[in-house]
Amino acid sequence: MGRNVLLIEDEPNIIEAIRFILSRDGWHVQTHSEGTSALDAVQRARPDLVILDVMLPGRSGFDILRDIRACAELAALPVLMLTAKGQSRDRAMAESLGASRFMTKPFSNADMLAAVRELAAP
């Protein structure tokens, strides 16, 4: 099972919460907070999984997901989309762009950990 996660999120409290949850479970969590350079961060980090917020400074998570899916070496990378807006159109957009999972904020620690474990399973 992969143990490297890249968290692309701009809210410090959410970053710390997810880092804490996953680190306790043995994951190495790298973070990135800027939308315009997020694709470069994914390419540099080569994570086993990306947790991607929808609303980021500079660029939306939907645009970043579109870029990830268009890149041959990243196309199969599991991406868990996070959003504070749980509207059905956001979920539909994430699914149409190839999100592996979609989770709304606030989330429970157990749900976050279960989703990451499931997405990183071989």
In this predicted model, what pLDDT tens digit does every residue of 63-113 receive, in sequence order? 999 999 999 999 999 999 998 877 888 889 999 999 999 999 999 999 999
Confidence band of 2 (pLDDT split at 50, 70, 90): low
Query: Is pLDDT at 8 greater than 50 in this prediction?
Result: yes
Tell me how crowded residue 3 is: count the other CB atoms within 10 A of its CB.
14
Whole-number Å distance between alpha carbons of 82 and 105: 7
Which tokens belong to 72? 């041959």
Q: 96: how many CB neighbours lie within 10 A of its CB? A: 11
| Count of domains observed in the chain | 1
Domain that holds residue 49: 4-120
pTM beyond 0.75, yes or no: yes
Indicate which CATH number applies to the domain containing 67: 3.40.50.2300
